[in-house]
Amino acid sequence: MLQNYQKYLSKHALYPPLIDKAAEKGLLTVVTIPAFNEPDIIHTLRSLQQCSPTRFPVEVLVLVNHSELANTEIKAQNTATLHEINRWAAENNTPRLKFFAMLAADLPKKHAGAGLARKIAMDEALRRFIGAGESDGIIASLDADTLVSENYLAAIEHEYLNNPKLKATSFYFEHPVSKPETPDQKPEAMMLYELYLRYYRYALEATGFPDTFYTIGSCFSIRASVYAAQGGMNKRQAGEDFYFLNKIYPLGNCRHLNHIAVYPSSRPSDRVPFGTGPSIIKILEQGEWPTYRPEYFSYLKEFFSKIPRCFKAKPELWQEVYHALHPSHTAFITEAAFIDKMQELNRNTASETSFVQRFFRWFDAFQIIKYLNFNHNQENKIPVTDAAYQFLCQQHPSTVFTKNTYELLMYFRSLEKQNQ
């Protein structure tokens, strides 16, 4: 396995080793944190320090980074952050838990961003495992403005040690939100955005789609061997977590763990083109977050339910299935394209199970977003509070809901906690 790490690094690594100190023997978990203009990162490091002890050593790698276009203030802050982490680490490192600061300065403007920073840090994690002689380590992805539950490190270690086939995990999360003091008070921007994240995942799960996950960069982990085998993290300036996990989850043996929690910041940010920070800014500007109508998830559910019938069926049945689809699908996929895809899937599968699995590798999370965007323009979307309310009323008809953003969000959170 270590040879596979070396092979990956020789082909994909962009930097030479960034840490000159030897890795602790037995190192099993490496937490990677990109840091760009982060004056308060010590709060995150203290949160990790306060975690329950692990059986095997853990390292926390902080990649302080900035673009070649960064101004002098950001560069100065990054320099200060680097020195602060080094001082803090010198006082707090133990054989069981060590913190390291690394610098990636003047990254090329074409790629500088969250994806490249995560990639550099995660690639360094592979080097640490090679140095420790650990052939099956764990890489956790965290952000510099995020706190973690006390069991974060020990529970991650436990899950992978006790589930040898486990490839990747995502975690429960909560952004800091507060209940409005009056019923007519506008909800916090972060409340609307988290409601959107939870509504979208649950609505997608209700369609029968097998690979639902949250797209939060501070909220996942992966087995190092899987990371290397799948070509590592991408260099996207934003959305890197979505594209990465969309590649990993269809492999199977991935789990969402609700007993491990992260607490991301709710701050507005323009550091990346899209994602949590820019979304908060947009919500603050427009006062609402429009999203996809619940009925389109019902159309997806109907579509997905018809796919097994197409295995080893005659082309006449494929045509029948196609013409029975909702117009939102026939507008999105031509009949010729659908028939061609059914032919291809049947040529390359020997069972209904593999047929359906291969279908979802084609109609994956990215394709679903394309379908939803194709069938929605800004005018067709509805406020997320309305969408979440309608969806919950459909899914839980015996429960009385109100169009209260805070209460809807708390209900989604409770649903997730019940599935531990």
101 CB-contact burial (10 Å; exposed 0-12 / middle 13-18 / buried 19+):
buried
**pLDDT at residue 271 greater than cutoff 60:** no
Give yes or no for a contact between 104 and 117, defined as CB atoms under 8 angstroms apart: yes
- Selected residue with higher pLDDT from 273 and 180: 180
Q: Note the pLDDT tens digit of each residue in 7-27.
A: 999 999 999 999 999 999 999
Band of the pLDDT at 283, cuts 50, 70, 90?
A: low
Q: 2-176+213-266 sits in which CATH class?
A: alpha beta
Percent of all residues in the chain with a pLDDT value above 70, rounded to a whole number: 94
Q: Note the pLDDT tens digit of each residue in 106-134.
A: 998 888 888 999 999 999 999 999 999 99
What does the alpha-carbon distance between residue 288 and residue 192 come to, in Å, rounded to a whole number?
7
**pLDDT at residue 270 greater than cutoff 50:** no
pTM higher than 0.85 = yes
Mean pLDDT confidence for 279-296: 80
Mean pLDDT confidence for 34-49: 96
- Confidence (pLDDT) at 215: 79
Mean predicted lDDT score pLDDT of the chain: 92
Q: Note the pLDDT tens digit of each residue in 177-226.
A: 888 766 666 678 888 999 999 999 999 999 999 989 887 889 999 999 99
Q: Residue-wise over 234-273: b if at least 16 C-beta within 10 A, else e? A: bbbbbbbbbbbbbebbbeeebebbbebbbbbbbebbeebe
- Selected residue with higher pLDDT from 182 and 148: 148
**pLDDT at residue 382 greater than cutoff 90:** yes
What does the alpha-carbon distance between residue 313 and residue 111 come to, in Å, rounded to a whole number?
46
Band of the pLDDT at 286, cuts 50, 70, 90?
A: confident
Mean pLDDT confidence for 135-152: 96
Give yes or no for a contact between 12 and 113, defined as CB atoms under 8 angstroms apart: no
Give yes or no for a contact between 289 and 193, defined as CB atoms under 8 angstroms apart: yes
Q: Note the pLDDT tens digit of each residue in 362-374.
A: 999 999 999 999 9
21 by DSSP, 3-state: which?
A: coil
Band of the pLDDT at 3, cuts 50, 70, 90?
A: confident
| Cα 391-396-397 angle, rounded to 5 deg | 100
Q: Where are the domains of the chain?
A: 2-176+213-266, 294-374
**pLDDT at residue 278 greater than cutoff 90:** no
Band of the pLDDT at 273, cuts 50, 70, 90?
A: very low
Mean pLDDT confidence for 333-342: 97
Give yes or no for a contact between 35 and 142, defined as CB atoms under 8 angstroms apart: no
Percent of all residues in the chain with a pLDDT value above 90, rounded to a whole number: 79
- Confidence (pLDDT) at 279: 67
- Selected residue with higher pLDDT from 298 and 179: 298
Band of the pLDDT at 406, cuts 50, 70, 90?
A: very high
**pLDDT at residue 269 greater than cutoff 60:** no
Complete DSSP assignment for 218-281: TSEEEEHHHHHHTT-----SS-HHHHHHHHHGGGS-EEEEEEEEEE-------SSSSSHHHHHH
- Confidence (pLDDT) at 240: 86
